[in-house]
């Protein structure tokens, strides 16, 4: 295990002078070459995250939300994956143009990731203290002893009771919620600028989920980090996000500040998702269900990828890919931060 040089000039100044967005993904395309053909997992994704902001990326399995995150982190399996196009600007620097060695310095220190399944993301044969301390040993060159002290400090910070006594325990000795806290501690260890949380609470029970999300939000405020929250749970998103990007078949189909998305969705897919949540006044009635299945990524439908499942689909939807239109209110005033990739967004937003 080599120690990453801590006195590294390229990225070390915390770049306070840079005033663009913290992270900007531009026209990202990712494809996977499989035996059944080329699966186009991400097809032109654009989003930005500012410091202290929470962006929720919402989508079903296969919508490309995790692949986008892996591309940002630089942990995409290549091959079979391939980034065919696009830029990932982190503080004004294109991550995709960096060498592997330069990316390693960013990974963990500036951009960190929290994974869904803490049990399988932690190494079962190493103690949690050792795994947490690895961040400090590798990135900052601390000694084993100092790293362990730091690890205890981090465990305290994520509110693991009796951290000093548990630092030598192994992952299986912790409960699911505690394991997820260790994942959070690991991600926060070097106080990164951006955290990517990929379904951080999906595997947890609701009461524990609330604890973990609260902790994450609190620490995010404290460190003023950017957070990309990847999830399929509309409830979690409503609770913590500032803005939302809804993905479908590798594209962003709608982008909006959180309050407006729930109030007036501008894409039929978002509308369908919101309508399919059981509501009190609908008890005993049939739930609204989006018909059909998400598309196979090796054979994405022509035109709008959602057209075979869309109740509003017309001929134009089958031939023309809708660009991400900026959305305006009924009287023509611009709605800040809103966009919809639907030919008929006007009709959708107005009823």
| Contact flag: residue 209 with other proteins (CB under 8 A) | yes
Residue 46's Cα: distance from chain center in Å? 13
| Contact flag: residue 208 with other proteins (CB under 8 A) | yes
Please enumerate in sequence order all residues whose Cβ is within 8 A of that of 83, keeping only pairs 6 or more positions apart, or say none. Answer: 28, 29, 30, 71, 76, 96
Rounded Cα gap, residues 141 and 90, in angstroms: 25
Question: In terms of CB distance, is 112 or 204 closer to other proteins?
Answer: 204
Task: Find the part of the chain contacting other proteins (CB under 8 A) among 36-44, 118-126, 189-197, 268-276.
Answer: 268-276
Least distance to other proteins from the beta carbon of 283, Å? 6
3-state SS class at 198? strand
Please enumerate in sequence order all residues whose Cβ is within 8 A of that of 265, keeping only pairs 6 or more positions apart, or say none. Answer: 254, 256, 271, 274, 348, 349
Least distance to other proteins from the beta carbon of 4, Å? 36
Binder of other proteins out of 6, 259, 299, 318 (CB under 8 A): 259
Task: Find the part of the chain contacting other proteins (CB under 8 A) among 26-34, 103-111, 141-149, 173-181.
Answer: 173-181
Q: How far is CA 233 from CA 11, 258, 277, in A?
A: 35, 13, 10
| Contact flag: residue 211 with other proteins (CB under 8 A) | yes
Question: In terms of CB distance, is 64 or 177 closer to other proteins?
Answer: 177
DSSP 162-197: THHHHTT--GGGS-HHHHHHHHHHHHHTT--SEEEE
Question: In terms of CB distance, is 146 or 233 closer to other proteins?
Answer: 233
Binder of other proteins out of 77, 207, 330, 332 (CB under 8 A): 207
Binder of other proteins out of 154, 216, 258, 266 (CB under 8 A): 258
Which residues pair with residue 231 across a beta bridge? Answer: 58
Rounded Cα gap, residues 36 and 19, in angstroms: 44
Contact positions vs other proteins (CB under 8 A): 60-61, 175-178, 205-211, 213-214, 232-239, 241, 258-259, 262, 272-274, 276-278, 280, 282-283, 286-291, 293-294
């Amino acid at each position: 295990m080599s120690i990453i040089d801590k006195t590294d000039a390229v990225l070390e100044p915390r770049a306070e002078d840079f005033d663009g967005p913290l992270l900007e993904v531009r026209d990202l395309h990712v494809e996977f070459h499989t035996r059944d053909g080329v699966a186009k997992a991400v097809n032109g994704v654009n989003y930005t995250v500012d410091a202290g902001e929470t962006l929720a990326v919402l989508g079903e399995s296969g919508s490309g939300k995790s692949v986008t995150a892996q591309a940002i982190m630089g942990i995409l399996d290549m091959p079979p994956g391939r980034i065919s196009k696009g830029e990932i600007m982190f503080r004004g620097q294109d991550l995709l143009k960096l060498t592997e060695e330069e990316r390693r310095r960013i990974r963990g220190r500036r951009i960190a990731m929290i994974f869904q399944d803490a049990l399988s993301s932690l190494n079962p044969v190493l103690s949690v203290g050792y795994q947490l301390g690895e961040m400090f040993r590798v990135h900052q060159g601390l000694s084993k002893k100092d790293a362990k002290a730091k690890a205890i400090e981090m465990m305290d910070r994520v509110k693991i009771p009796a951290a000093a006594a548990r630092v030598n325990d192994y992952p299986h000795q912790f409960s699911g919620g505690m394991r997820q806290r260790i994942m959070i501690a690991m991600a926060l260890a070097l106080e990164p600028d951006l955290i990517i949380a990929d379904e951080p609470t999906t595997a947890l029970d609701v009461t524990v989920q609330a604890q973990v999300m609260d902790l994450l939000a609190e620490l995010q405020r404290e460190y003023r980090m950017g957070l990309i929250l990847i999830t399929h749970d509309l409830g979690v998103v409503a609770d913590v996000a500032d803005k939302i990007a809804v993905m479908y078949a590798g594209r962003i189909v709608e982008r909006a500040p959180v309050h407006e998305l729930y109030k007036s969705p501008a894409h039929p897919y978002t509308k369908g998702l919101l309508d399919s949540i059981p509501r009190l006044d609908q008890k005993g009635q049939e739930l609204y269900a989006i018909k059909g299945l998400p598309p196979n990524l090796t054979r994405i439908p022509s035109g709008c990828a959602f057209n075979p499942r869309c109740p509003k689909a017309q001929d134009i939807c089958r031939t023309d890919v809708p660009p991400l239109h900026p959305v305006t209110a009924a009287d023509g005033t611009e709605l800040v931060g809103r966009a919809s990739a639907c030919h008929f967004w006007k009709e959708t937003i107005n009823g």
